[in-house]
Amino acid sequence: MTDHELNLLHRYLDGAITPDELESLEELLRGSPEARATLRSLATIDAKWQQLAADEAFGQTHTAMVTRSVSEGLEATDSVEEHPSLTRRVTSSSADSVNARSLTPLWLTLTALATALVVGAFGWFRGLDNSPPEAERGIARVIRIEGDGTTDNDRNVVNGAELFAGEELAMQRGLIELAFRETGVHVIATAPLRMKLDSNQRVSLREGQVKLVVPPQGVGFVVDTAERKFVDLGTSFVVTAGAKGSEVLVLDGQISVDDHDGTSADLMHEGEFARFDRDGKIKKRTPARLSQALPELSLSATHPGDGSFRGAVVGYNSPVASVKERRAADVIGRDLLPLIHSRFKDRSRLEAFKQGEPLSFRGIAGAFHEFPDRTGLTPYSRHGGWMAWYHGQVIPPGEGRYRFWGYADNHLLVAIDGKPVFEASRRDSSFKELGIERTDNPALPCLIARAGFACSGWIEVSGDPVQLDILFGEHGGNITSGLLLVEREGDIYEETFWGQPKWPLFLTEAPNADEAAEFKRLVDHLEQKTMGSFSVSEDAVWKVHN
């Protein structure tokens, strides 16, 4: 490799690469096996230095490799979905992601990388590392598992488990998140699942859904199904396999779709979807390019009327925790847990908060960056976050079974008659402590959740009034978005071209003409740019019971 090519690799690892250089690097990695191998080696050595620095600084003997998303214009926020072409490897503790590179001077990192390549320092690193011998480490490590998973040798899979080449993973329900050591490939898979880990660079998917985020050092990673072989070219994509065939949706970058006999190969780019049936039929669709930006609706959230589902937005007057604590803990969610545990009867903790104007629930859809300003909460301590709580009696559209769908940055919780039934918050939300069962669907893409849309279990109602409580809010800062939909069992919904039903937006009163136009604008944006959708139906409104 030339000095210029090596410099591109070093600048990428150091986070100093420019957009033009990144484009050159991605082109180099696609066409050069030597470049991909060199970057994998450099990234492995770099990760060792980061681990040693973090252990020395914090006294930790156990760290994990994760990928951090960096998106143009939103780098410092927590509401950006991962962007694979800019992914970097960092060390993380269980409570707080720490960029260990900031603990190691740039000159020391580059010198160490060069020295390691010259003198073969891999053995020396192993001598300093307290981790198990290489022979005991698998090709991938489980970051988390929700549900029961086993391997083909009847080994139960738990958080932190090592997965080895040749093992087949099976799950009947739940979700598993794992990362490949050498390539940094991040995988989220949902049950029912049968997936074999062939090697560091390949998995065979027999059944289930997998979402992959592939950094540059993982270029060439393969997902093999019965119908096709999907080869990464630096991207994020979702593959589904089942009895009827396989599907692929490219979220970012591009992939190569190959026949197993090698007679043909086709490129698929960002936003493209394809279905390959067992009978040989192929269906493809190409929407507009994806976009990270969600619009914020200008719906009036205050001055509730007689038929409004009422609420209040709360926040802190002054900082309530140190910077370190804010990063490691969800303060506002933690302070509202007693309210939830009391089935929304104990309101004593609310006295510590500042409240905005009375709210009228207008649905949860789109961005909410200006919500505190529009609802009279400002000025308040932005670092402490804010929370909107809606409470009252509503009448379901009819008796039957319902379930909720959605996601939020950071908090979203729905309770019926005081019992929490749906939680679609980010992983750092204190609401996770409630242990509310949910199912994640990574094949239904959304901006802020790696695991895609979440859904609740089925909830049976008689059609009589029920107590409804909704909590929606932000951990800290003001970059916030969310979506709350509802499905009624037995109803048939129109589907998007990649198979997501257009479930109705959860509303407690029918929208007026201006609101309907706003919702239409948001739906158009979702379908064309972020591959999401919903519908607005008066038949799905849960009306307020006065």
Contact by Cβ (8 Å): 342, 486: no
* Span 111-144, pLDDT tens digits: 333 333 333 323 322 333 444 444 478 999 998 8
How does strand 265-269 pair with strand 411-416? unpaired
Task: Report the percent of the chain where pLDDT is more than 70.
Answer: 74
- Tell whether 246 and 364 lie within a shared domain: no
Token code pair at residue 271: 């936003």
- At 298, give phi and psi (nearest 5°): -100, 20
Residue 305 is assigned to a structural domain of this protein: no
149 - beta bridge partners? 157, 171
Cα–Cα dist 228/274, whole Å? 11
- Tell whether 279 and 352 lie within a shared domain: no
Cα–Cα dist 53/47, whole Å? 10
Question: Which pLDDT belongs to residue 286?
Answer: 64
End-to-end CA distance of the chain: 74
- Tell whether 122 and 196 lie within a shared domain: no
- Tell whether 278 and 371 lie within a shared domain: no
Contact by Cβ (8 Å): 372, 477: no
CA angle 76-79-82, nearest 5°?
Answer: 85
- Tell whether 377 and 265 lie within a shared domain: no
289 falls in which pLDDT band (50, 70, 90)? very low
Cα–Cα dist 60/54, whole Å? 7
Token code pair at residue 6: 């090596």
* Span 314-339, pLDDT tens digits: 999 987 655 445 445 688 999 999 99
CATH code for the domain of 250 = 2.60.120.1440
Query: What is the total count of domains within the chain?
Result: 3
- Tell whether 167 and 125 lie within a shared domain: no
- At 425, give phi and psi (nearest 5°): -85, 170
pTM over 0.75: no
* Span 376-413, pLDDT tens digits: 998 998 888 899 999 999 999 999 999 999 988 889 99
Residue 190 is assigned to a structural domain of this protein: yes
- Tell whether 158 and 226 lie within a shared domain: yes
Cα–Cα dist 38/44, whole Å? 10
* Span 496-539, pLDDT tens digits: 765 678 999 999 999 999 899 999 989 888 876 666 789 999 99
Instruction: Assess whether pLDDT exceeds 50 at residue 345.
Output: yes
How does strand 202-213 pair with strand 222-224? parallel
Residue 84 is assigned to a structural domain of this protein: no
CB-based contacts of 302: which residues, under 8 Å, 6+ apart?
356, 357, 358, 359, 360, 374, 375, 376
- Tell whether 276 and 358 lie within a shared domain: no
Range of the domain at 280: 136-285
